[in-house]
């Protein structure tokens, strides 16, 4: 089918009242950014929608790119006709004829947004539907369970005819709701948490803790690859690589085996909070999911989360592993996440980690470490390296340097 239009419905932002114009402009910019490869496209913005004229560009390619743009509620490849009965009838027939597999039943839905059109919607349902039926002998009407729903949308600038509505990613345009730091391990969960944060309009910068040389370079590369995948949605993502070896080794010496994960997590959050302050981020995002492992029981979360003042966002907290995996597959991070490289936390995993750590004990262990703990945290922050990823790969080192010392 030769579609000549893409009718894009903006998502959640249409419910926002006063800042609507700003949101729509931001959405238009994000859509254009995602479609830069298609040079012949032209754009038109109108109340809660963006109309894209394909000008011969590939409708399938454009559809695939639109699926990943945050803030889109849904979209439809469409044919545009003049606001005139004959033209609309012909367009409707062409759309139906081109539909594969050929439908046995259909239903017409006409929406008359442009009130100056001479026939009301109900009348149009009959006028257009009858024309389609007359010219497609095998086709029947089925109002309740049609194979295809043929939609005719009469707008001031023209009538759009289509029969597919593709669900968009939803959410808000990226960056609209501020910035957060994502704690990105190499696992399945945290990349999904990052994608969800971005979908809600948060710009993210990623933080990864590595224990080189105990963890391998491949383990870090894996996180670099995950960041690159997230950059497919986020345009450009900064990844902060934090040296965690010394801190981790020191915490392990405190002889509190069952509390080691709790202590490590608290140290991670303190470092992440410092980086957030440097980078102007207002929240931390993790891939925690309630009950999944010892460090993600409510008791553990309580003791771990107390260490910081910034909001700690856990988008996956109520999700089952299978749901998380489905998202990971959909966003294209799963294959990388299941590569077998070790994570820093798996190095020191005790036989029986505390599922209900005692805050007072944890605090007293940290207190004993005193200034040394603060120093190690400061050193880890100072030793952090920055890598900037785009969907194409690593950005030049010079740029990264400039970025770091902003
Ligand atoms: P994931 O699949 O995201 O690794 P997980 O189920 O393995 O999660 P944990 O290893 O307990 O869970 O980690 C919980 C969360 O802590 C992770 O989702 C991530 O946000 C953060 N985290 C853990 N290890 C690291 C790390 N090395 N660097 C950065 N963040 C980490
Ligand atoms: Mg993990």
pLDDT digits (tens, 9 = 90+) for 222-234: 999 999 999 999 8
Shared domain check, 202 and 162 = no
Shared domain check, 242 and 353 = yes
Which of 167, 201, 234 is the endpoint of a domain?
A: 167
pTM of the model as a whole: 0.90
Which of 167, 188, 204 is the endpoint of a domain?
A: 167
Shared domain check, 230 and 189 = yes
Shared domain check, 284 and 135 = no
Mutation choice for ligand 1 from 186, 188, 189, CB with most ligand atoms inside 8 A:
189
Compare 152 and 300 and report the one with higher pLDDT: 152
**Which domain covers residue 340, as residue numbers?**
179-404
Shared domain check, 129 and 185 = no
To the question of whether residue 183 is assigned a binding role by annotation, the answer is yes
What 3 state SS string does 31-100 have? Answer: HHHHCCCCCCCEEEEECCEEEEECCCCCHHHHHHHHCCCCCEEEEEEEEEECCCHHHHHHHHHHHHHHCC
CATH of the domain at 49: 3.30.2130.30
User: Would you say the CB of residue 190 lies under 6 angstroms from ligand 1?
Assistant: yes
Shared domain check, 187 and 149 = no
Shared domain check, 348 and 218 = yes
Average pLDDT score over the chain: 91
The domain total for the chain is 2
Nearest CA to ligand 1 atom 20: 286
Shared domain check, 224 and 156 = no
Shared domain check, 183 and 155 = no
343-346, Cβ contacts within 8 angstroms, sequence gap of 24 or more: 343/185, 343/186, 343/187, 343/215, 343/219, 344/209, 344/210, 344/211, 344/214, 344/215, 344/244, 344/248, 344/264, 345/185, 345/261, 345/264
Shared domain check, 193 and 296 = yes
Within a domain: 174: no
User: 171 C-alpha vs ligand 1 centroid, how far in Å?
Assistant: 24
C-alpha torsion angle, residues 287, 291, 293, 297 (rounded to 10): 90
- State which ligand 1 atom lies nearest to the alpha carbon of 344: 27
Q: What percent of the chain has pLDDT over 70?
A: 94
User: Would you say the CB of residue 176 lies under 6 angstroms from ligand 1?
Assistant: no
In the predicted structure, residue 324 carries a pLDDT above the cut 70: yes
Shared domain check, 327 and 201 = yes
Q: What percent of the chain has pLDDT over 90?
A: 77
To the question of whether residue 296 is assigned a binding role by annotation, the answer is yes
């Amino acid at each position: 089918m030769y579609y000549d239009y893409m009718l894009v419905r903006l998502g959640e932002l249409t419910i926002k009242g006063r800042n609507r114009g700003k949101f729509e402009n931001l959405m238009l910019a994000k859509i254009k950014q995602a479609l830069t490869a298609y040079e012949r496209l032209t754009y038109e913005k109108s109340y809660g929608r963006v109309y894209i004229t394909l000008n011969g560009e590939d409708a399938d390619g454009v559809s695939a790119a639109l699926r990943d743009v945050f803030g889109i509620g849904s979209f439809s490849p469409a044919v545009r006709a003049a606001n005139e009965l004959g033209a609309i009838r012909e367009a409707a027939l062409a759309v139906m004829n081109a539909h594969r597999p050929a439908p046995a039943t259909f239903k017409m839905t006409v929406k008359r947004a442009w009130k100056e059109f001479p026939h009301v919607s109900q009348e149009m349902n009959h006028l257009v539907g009858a024309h389609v039926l007359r010219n497609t002998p095998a086709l029947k009407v089925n109002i309740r369970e049609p194979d295809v729903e043929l939609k005719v949308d009469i707008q001031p600038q023209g009538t759009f005819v289509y029969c597919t509505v593709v669900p968009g990613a939803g959410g808000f345009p990226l960056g609209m709701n501020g910035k957060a730091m994502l704690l990105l391990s190499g696992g399945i969960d945290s990349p999904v948490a990052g994608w969800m944060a971005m979908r809600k309009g948060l710009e993210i910068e990623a933080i990864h803790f590595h224990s080189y040389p105990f963890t391998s370079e491949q383990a870090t590369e894996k996180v670099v690859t995950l960041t690159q995948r997230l950059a497919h949605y986020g345009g450009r993502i900064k990844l902060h690589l934090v040296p965690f070896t010394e801190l981790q080794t020191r915490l392990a010496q405190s002889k509190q085996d069952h509390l080691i994960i709790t202590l490590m997590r608290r140290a991670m959050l303190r470092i992440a909070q410092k980086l957030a302050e440097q980078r102007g981020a207002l929240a931390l995002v993790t891939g925690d999911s309630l009950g999944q492992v010892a460090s993600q029981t409510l008791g553990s979360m309580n003791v771990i989360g107390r260490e910081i003042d910034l909001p700690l966002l856990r988008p996956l907290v109520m999700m089952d592993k299978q749901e998380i995996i489905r998202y990971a597959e959909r966003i294209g991070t799963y294959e990388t996440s299941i590569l077998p490289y070790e994570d820093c936390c798996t190095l020191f995993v005790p036989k029986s980690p505390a599922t209900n750590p005692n805050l007072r004990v944890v605090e007293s262990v940290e207190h004993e470490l005193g200034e040394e703990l603060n120093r190690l945290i400061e050193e880890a922050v100072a030793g952090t390296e920055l890598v900037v990823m785009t969907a194409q790969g690593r950005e030049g080192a010079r740029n990264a340097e400039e970025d770091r010392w902003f």
